[in-house]
A = this chain, B = another copy of it.
């Protein structure tokens, strides 16, 4: 990615009053995580904010979470993001508790199973968001579980699956939906406010709205890609947790990765469809977190 602080239009670079600091905790991995801290400043041009990430590698146990979270708290960021698979597991739960105690506003980003961590039935049996004070969440059902069996998953297959999943999330609008939520938080802090943290289950239908597709078939295909990506979890979790024999689970986890590959290839088709109409939305951060948008490739962002 960008290697230098590249200079743009003069007036894009007036100093802002406050520099916002964002701390990111990554525990284990989902496809939304690897590039998350780079999404605030995709060309490394902003001097109005700092992002630091602290990770425990692949580990998600409580003990592994403590160190990175302590380091983050020590840095005293304006707010924190905890990104992990299944946010109900001990590691991410511990992280949320520590951050709540430290009174650092926090948004969790997690996958489908995480819904259990963030919704609780009310007296009428209706599911209601349920979070620690000052916290919020973005649940992404399409960010499905990998096929984590040793007969199948080596580092190469792991990176490949994530590449496919990232492609799906990027093209269909999920990445932009996350960007929008985070931009809103940062903007509020820049304006001196303490924003409410989002409480968002990013279903396929909600995500594709952030695709801003001009071609209606691109939108339909994006819904299709996300529905396929979401269905991956059914078959990988069956393979990982409910099947005993390698002869039985290898085909299941392999099928899950084939599905994600198919969703990625469909995503490529979607992007090409929008290229055919020269209608790819781009919404770069141009200065101080200000976001401009453009559709035609040769247009100036506005």
B40 touches A57 (CB 8 A): yes
CB proximity of A236 to chain B, nearest CB, Å: 10
Within 8 A of B (CB), among A164-198: 164, 166-167, 169-171, 175-176, 179
- Closest B residue to A165 by beta carbon equals B163
- Closest B residue to A218 by beta carbon equals B275
CB proximity of A46 to chain B, nearest CB, Å: 8
CA distance A278 to B216 in the complex (A): 7
Knowing A169-B159, A227-B259, the reply to whether A220 touches B28 (Cβ < 8 A) is no
User: A119 interface residue, CB < 8 Å from B?
Assistant: no
- Cross-chain contact of A301 among B29, B148, B151 (Cβ < 8 A): B151
CB proximity of A168 to chain B, nearest CB, Å: 9
Neighbouring B residues of A162 by C-beta, 8 Å:
1, 34-35, 166
CA distance A2 to B273 in the complex (A): 29
User: A200 interface residue, CB < 8 Å from B?
Assistant: no
A37 touches B55 (CB 8 A): yes
- Closest B residue to A155 by beta carbon equals B39
Of the candidates A22, A224, A276, the one having the most CB atoms from chain B within 10 angstroms of its own CB is A224
B29 touches A58 (CB 8 A): no
CB proximity of A143 to chain B, nearest CB, Å: 10
User: A202 interface residue, CB < 8 Å from B?
Assistant: no
The 28 listed contacts between A and B (C-beta, < 8 Å) are: A1-B148, A3-B85, A3-B113, A34-B34, A34-B162, A38-B58, A39-B155, A41-B57, A42-B154, A51-B55, A51-B59, A52-B55, A53-B57, A154-B283, A160-B167, A162-B166, A163-B163, A216-B251, A217-B275, A220-B250, A220-B254, A220-B255, A223-B255, A228-B228, A247-B298, A261-B268, A276-B276, A276-B277
